[in-house]
Amino acid sequence: MQRFQCYIDGEFADGEARFESIDPATGAAWAEMPEAREADVDRAVEAAHRALYAGPWAKLTATQRGKLLYRLADLVAENALKLAELETRDTGKIIRETSTQIAYVAEYYRYYAGIADKIEGSYLPIDKPDMEVWLRREPIGVVAMVVPWNSQLFLSAVKIGPALAAGCTMVVKASEDGPAPLLEFARLIHEAGFPAGVVNIITGFGPSCGAALSRHPKVDHIAFTGGPETARHVVRNSAENLASTSLELGGKSPFIVFADADLESAANAQVAGIFAATGQSCVAGSRLIVEKSVKDRFLDILKAKAEAIRIGSPLDMATEVGPLATRRQRDHIEVLVGHSLAAGARLVTGGSAAEGAGYYYRPTILDCDGSASPSLEEEFFGPVLSVLSFETEAQALALANNTRYGLAAGLFTRDLTRAHRLMKGIRAGIVWVNTYRAVSPIAPFGGFGLSGHGREGGMAAALDYTRTKTVWLRTSDDPIPDPFVMR
């Protein structure tokens, strides 16, 4: 079995305990992971704290930080395939996606490398004649980053990149499910030449490792991606250290299709939105809201596409849908599909586990018209699409906004004025019109409501990893007048 280690204070180390990682394509253990507990967490946070205030990192110029990030970007690009194979092996996410996604992760680091020396302070035109006042932008401090199993390299890059550009130090907690790629990525941090303690990478279980990290007194900010229930624990933990938080949580994103849309193109985007990554995507377009007049035709196209999907080994480039990351995840989906059928949803296709030892589940479509199916509200995080239909634009909008989540939405229509109206009315952090699941380091990403708060990507994300310091400098040589009067 392959063995992985934590990366703490510039050194690779075993955790306080170990656990086995399961290959979701076979259900068999394939690697041993280090389990960080409270003492490891403490060592990692102390190392990040030392690196923030003492040592070489604190003295680097922003341009020098940028150069280290450029080096990291090159190393990610050079090692993309190796990292992709590890992610595929450990999480079941298909190699076809991990290989391209990780190559693109390099672009996130490159983008933030360029931003490092473009984070500017500002000068204030203060209302006092003998004062110069300006704002410095300083790193927000030690950042705890907690990520879920899916796309760990991507979900950490959107945190590590801007945080490094801003000059922060950090402890990254990989998910206990599929941590291999992030632990391997630590070798690239080391090779790129980041000083010891700047980036620490550990893994362990939520209640021990994640909780110890998010309530640690020396953590200043927590950047969390995961489910809303875990986010509540994290926010409660932050009551201990009063750290600020950014939360990227789940979604129940609407995917609206009007009769005038290019149905073939919309169907491909819907497949990308719900069956790519085996549906384990926070932006999964899991609620199809389709105009009644084309519902049957659109479902026929979708059903044919869903049934033609190649299910197989995630390491095979031809595979389109691989296993779910964990048995727990597949069991959750089976139970939720059962409840939805019991509540009156009609099975269009799928609805069962696929044969084989791994955690496979067939691409599934549930027609939920006329039912109170729980699938319309609860996030599956799997390849299950719930379908509703509408007759008017107002109905479409009301159905789209009938959710406590607010992450993403898709809209397919050729009517430009309608697209503009709906784009404004849809309550979501991202609206894709005539496309779906497009991302870029340049474009902010995030939601509101049950989908959390804060944005990742773009310049603003780098500013979110800074705090301002207001500096007052008196330019008069005269003695300070009346000390009992506030000036």
Please state whether 324 falls in left (phi above 0), alpha (psi between -120 and 50) or beta.
Answer: beta
Say whether 334 sits in a helix, a strand or coil.
Answer: helix
Task: Specify the residue, 66 or 204, whose C-beta has the smaller distance to ligand NAD.
Answer: 204
Minimum gap (Å) between residue 203 Cβ and ligand NAD: 8
Q: If binding is defined by CB under 6 A, does position 225 make contact with ligand NAD?
A: yes
Considering beta carbons, is residue 57 or 224 the nearer one to ligand NAD? 224
* CA 22-24-27 angle, 5° bins: 65
Check binding of 243 to ligand NAD (CB under 6 A).
Answer: no
Query: Binding marks (x or -) toward ligand NAD, 171..200, rule CB under 6 A?
Result: --x-xx------------------------
CB of 439 to ligand NAD, least distance (A): 10
Minimal distance in Å, beta carbon 285 to ligand NAD? 13
> Beta-carbon neighbour count of residue 304 at 10 Å?
11
Q: Does 206 bind ligand NAD (CB under 6 A)?
A: yes
Figure out which of the listed residues 194, 381, 412, 432 binds ligand NAD, where binding follows CB under 6 A. Answer: 381
Say which DSSP state 5 is in.
-
Question: Cα(426)–Cα(392) distance, rounded to whole angstroms?
Answer: 15
CA–CA distances in Å: residue 349 to residues 325, 331, 406:
22, 18, 28
Binding of ligand NAD by 33 (CB under 6 A): no
Distance CA 412, CA 431 (A): 11
The pairing of beta strand 384-390 with beta strand 364-367: parallel
Q: Which of residues 108-127 bind ligand NAD (CB under 6 A)?
A: none
Burial of 127 (0-12, 13-18, 19+ CB in 10 A): exposed
Segment interacting with ligand NAD (CB under 6 A) among 170-178, 190-198, 309-317, 365-373: 170-178
* Interaction between residue 97 and ligand NAD (CB under 6 A): no
Q: Which of 8, 294 has the CB closer to ligand NAD?
A: 8
Q: Pick the binder of ligand NAD from 218, 233, 303, 467 (CB under 6 A).
A: 233
Is residue 78 classed as helix, strand or coil in its secondary structure?
helix
Interaction of residue 444 with ligand NAD, rule CB under 6 A: no
Closest CA to 329 of 145, 150, 486, 156: 150
Tell me how far CA of residue 96 lies from CA of 82, 212, 465, in angstroms.
13, 36, 33
Catalytic-labelled residue, pool 248, 291, 320, 456 = 248
Asked if residues 196 and 56 have their Cβ atoms less than 8 Å apart, the reply is: no
Residue 248 annotated in active site: yes
Binding of ligand NAD at residue 227 (CB under 6 A)? Answer: yes
Among 34, 162, 210, 254, binds ligand NAD (CB under 6 A): 210
Task: Report the catalytic residues.
Answer: 248
| Interacting residue ranges for ligand NAD, rule: CB under 6 A | 146-150, 155, 173, 175-176, 206-207, 210-211, 214, 225-227, 230, 233-234, 237, 248-250, 282, 379, 381, 407
